[in-house]
Structure formats: C-alpha cells, structure tokens
Chains A and B, each alone.
Chain A
Amino acid sequence: MILKMNLLLISLFFINFNFTVFMKPIVIIILMLYSATNYSQVVKQDSLFYKDVYGIRLGFDISNPIQTLFNNKRKSIELVADYRLSKKYFLAAEIGFLDNTINENYYDVQTKGQYIKLGANYNLYKNFLDMENEVYLGLRYGFSFFNHKVSKITINSDIILPENHLNNTLSFTDLNAHWGELIIGMKVAVYENVFLGVSAGFKRLITDKEPDNFKNIYMPGFNRVYLNNGGFTFNYTIMYRLPLYKKNKIDKIEDVKSIEKK
C-alpha cells in the first residue's frame, strides 16, 4: 500500500508538471493526507508508552532537479535540515544555490547566487500511537547574496521609430537581501526515518542592496519579488532522519487515563 502510494506520488510529480504551479501542492497534499491515513507502522512498544524519536533530519528539495530537467535556464539546489528540540519545536535550516535566467519582454536577466534560511518549525499535528506526521508552522530569517546579468536589452520606446537594441551586458554584482518568511507545511513519514514534505513560504523583504539602474526582481531563495516586496515559494522535500535518542511520548498520567477510557 505504502509503496503504491509513493509510486503514485512520484508519478504525479511528472504527470502534473504542466499543471499551474498552484495546483501541484494541493494535489500533493491530498495525496499525502491519504497516504498518511493509510500508513501503518510496525508498533515497537517496549513499555506502556510509545516513544518519540529525536534526531537530525537531512534532505533536499525534489522540485529543483525536476525543474532543471524541464527548464534548462534554471539550475538550483536546496539542502534542508532540521533538529528536534522538544515535543513540538524543530530547529530548521535551508541552504541553496540558484542560477536562473528569465526572459522579460524587453530584456533577459540571469540571477546567480546562494542563500541560507534559519529558523524553527512548530508542529500543530497531534499524532496517534507512534505516527510521526507533522503539520507545522515555521518562521525563517533568510539571507541571500547574488549577482544579476542583464542582457538583450531593447529600449522601451515608441514603435513608430526603429528600436534600440543594446549590445552590452550589464553586470550587477555584490547584491544581497534579508527577508522574513512564514511557512506552512506538512511532513509525512513514508518509511522508517524517511519523510516527504510539502510547504509554502510567504516572504517579506526586510532590506536589500539594490543595484544601480536595475531592480532585484528575482533573488535566490526568494524567487520573484512582487511589487509589495513579497515573495512566495513552494518546497517539496525528501528527508532522512538520523535518530539520536528517544523520549516517552506520553509524560502526563492524565493522558494515559484518557487513552485507557477509549
């Protein structure tokens, strides 16, 4: 069952690739919820209590290599990691690299750079028994440093007269940006220590070093910068957990009683 669901999930990434970017996560969330409800793990109970596993999770974003496959103007990598601090809190970090070219109407812009995001996630989802799913809210501080190369510039002028195509490429280097990000996401344990995740990040630019005679219209880690200095990204991740230690899941005697009643 689990294997079947995973195959379905993976094939969906490909089948739906031509869907609008907004449809994809919705479909995937539905599938993840479905696979989460069907997911049954071998119960390893060494006492009255189930155990919570604490550890470091490492992984990467799956959508980046897939996007590169379909769009050779975009190359990007994102590595993700989190560390479980307590029952509900996780320290989280992402680092990434991006080299992306956009064709606008009057010019092309190639953006190249790195980014790092640091923050924490708070798990809202109450797992039954030894399930390990998460529905979480996250906060991040993001920092990115990057360059732009603007080429194939056509001056935007009255079409009644000949256009002017500039031959030179404009380089804007040593740029950077700081932003805050609110994340809503889900993680589902698909095998022991293997997690699939989907999340949406809502970004707000705090400050950026603007190029002279250009604008930061696209930034690594932020993607498109909208007019209100907002940004929006989806992440699809696969993570592997290195378990470090375990804690009893139920630590209040009232919780035990309430479960016994049921």
Chain B
Amino acid sequence: MSIKHLFIVFFIATLFSCERDDICIDENTPQLIIRFHDAIETDDLKSVSNLFVKVTNSLDEIVEINVIKTIDSIVVPLNVDQDYTKITLVKNANIDANAITDEFTLNYTLNSIYVSRSCGYKSIYNDIIVSNSSSNWLSQIQKEVDDIENESIAHLTIFH
C-alpha cells in the first residue's frame, strides 16, 4: 500500500466515520391520554361535542390545551414540577350559554427516567389517583393504568 492509497483511505474515513444523535427523536415525557365512552354502552366510544380542555399549571395559571372540537379522545400534558394537575373539561364550549364544565385533579408521583443523549431525562407519572372530580356532564372517570409511562394506550376513560 502506498502512502497515496493510505492517504485516500484516511481521508474517506474522516468523512464517513460520524453519525449524529444530537436531535431528540425519542419519546420523552408522556402526556395523559383520555378516551370518552358512552355511559350506558360502556364499550362504545362517544364523542364530546365542542370539547375545550384546560390545565392549571404550578403557577395557578389556566393553560388552554386544544382548540374547541368534537372528539372522542384527547391528549393532555401534565405538570412535571408538582405532583398533581387540575384538568378542566368544558362541553359545548362553542356557545357560552350552553357550556357545561367538569373538572378533576390527577395526583401522581414523579420519577425521572434517562432517555438518550439529546433527549435527556423525561418524567413518568407513577401511582396515579383521580380526585375532586365533578360530574356535571360526565358520569364516571375510570383509571386504565396505575403508571403513565408512555403514550401507547389510553390512561383514563371518561363515561358520559
């Protein structure tokens, strides 16, 4: 092998030897997934008309989560800097006079899990408990899991 050949190998190797994992593409902190079911035919999904969802953050500010929409499931971010999140669900939110509000608090234990170089640490929510729930338009909130670790399944089912 001549020096020239080796030099070319050297040169090519320096160009192709690196890959990047600087961009976070892994799943990070999971959000709460709620599905809405019929209160009588409990297996059937039932959409909530013109649903508007709000969350109270750790500074006691109300944060709007979605645009008003008729849907049968929703994804809600949870607070990672305190161990509970108050969630407000408004039905028929498109017309103020018809709006009905329900709310509940989700309590949990926060745990930090390392994901990857670029994503850092995510939170998971262990031992979730639903408390202080009102039932103006919904009839029942059912817990589907004890721990919110990913977004692959629904965590809460709300019957209405």
Contact = CB atoms under 8 A, between A and B. Distances in A.
Interface residues of A, number: 36
A158 to B, nearest CB: 4
Contacts of B145: none
Interface in B14-39: 14-15, 17-19, 21, 24, 28-29, 31
8 contacts: A124-B1, A160-B63, A161-B63, A162-B58, A162-B59, A164-B110, A213-B112, A215-B114
Contacts of A155: 29, 80, 112, 120-123
Contact of A107 (B11, B21, B24, B121): B121
Nearest to B118: A105
Interface string A221-251: 0000011101010000000000000000000
A107 B120 CA distance: 7
B122 A156 contact: yes
Nearest to B119: A156
A162 B57 contact: yes
A125 B3 CA distance: 8
A38 B58 CA distance: 71
Interface string A197-233: 0001010000000000111010000000011101010
Q: Which of B11, B14, B15 has the most CB of A within 10 A?
A: B14
B106 to A, nearest CB: 13
Q: Which of A106, A213, A226 has the most CB of B within 10 A?
A: A106
B59 A156 contact: no
B13 interface: yes
A160 B53 CA distance: 13
A161 B57 contact: yes
Interface string B80-120: 11000000000000000000000000000010111111111
B65 to A, nearest CB: 7
Nearest to B64: A160
A29 to B, nearest CB: 7
Contacts of B11: 26
Interface of A: 22, 25-26, 29, 33, 104-107, 124-125, 135, 153-158, 160-164, 166, 184, 200, 202, 213-215, 217, 226-228, 230, 232
A223 to B, nearest CB: 11
Given A104-B117, A135-B3, A162-B79, A232 B18 contact: yes
A125 B1 CA distance: 8
Given A104-B118, A200-B10, A163 B29 contact: no
Given A29-B10, A161-B79, 20 more contacts: A22-B14, A26-B14, A33-B7, A104-B118, A105-B118, A106-B120, A125-B3, A135-B3, A155-B123, A156-B115, A158-B77, A160-B77, A161-B57, A162-B59, A162-B79, A162-B80, A164-B81, A213-B114, A226-B18, A226-B19
A153 B121 contact: yes
A184 B10 contact: yes
Contacts of A29: 7, 10
